[in-house]
Amino acid sequence: MGSSGAGKTTLMDVIAGRKTGGTIRGQILLNGHPATDLAIRRSTGYCEQMDIHSESATIREALTFSAFLRQGADVPDSYKSSAAAPWSR
């Protein structure tokens, strides 16, 4: 992907809206929609090298955990629980 210091983490932080310092120019679009859209922010993410997920969790458990953290209270728990299904077969 690139050597140390190439900007991989910076790029991911900018896309994820985590970068608060420096100058960022241009638009970030995901499937043609501004990445600032809350629905897009809640449905996407990336896992850093040192993540908080338990090493004993299955992929399904980790994705379900993330869905419960990211989705709003108005989203039914049944939807949150089933969101990981396509990615954990």
What pLDDT, on a 0 to 100 scale, did the predictor assign at position 77?
92
Measured in degrees and rounded to the nearest 5, phi and psi for residue 8 equal -60, -50
For residues 59 and 39, membership in a common domain is answered with no
- Both 27 and 51 in one domain: the answer is no
Domain boundaries, position 89: 47-89
The domain total for the chain is 2
Output the furthest CA–CA distance in the chain (Å, rounded): 42
- What is the average pLDDT across 77-86? 85
**pLDDT the model gives residue 53:** 67
Q: pLDDT tier at 11 (50, 70, 90 boundaries)?
A: confident
Domain identity same for 56 and 33: no
Express each pLDDT in 12-61 by its tens digit.
888 777 777 888 888 888 788 787 766 666 777 777 766 666 788 888 88
Q: Of 13, 28, 43, which closes a domain? A: 43
The Cα 89–Cα 86 span in angstroms is 6
Q: Which spans in 1-89 are helix H?
A: 8-16, 38-43, 59-70, 77-82
Do 38 and 64 lie in one domain? The reply is no
Give this prediction's pTM: 0.47
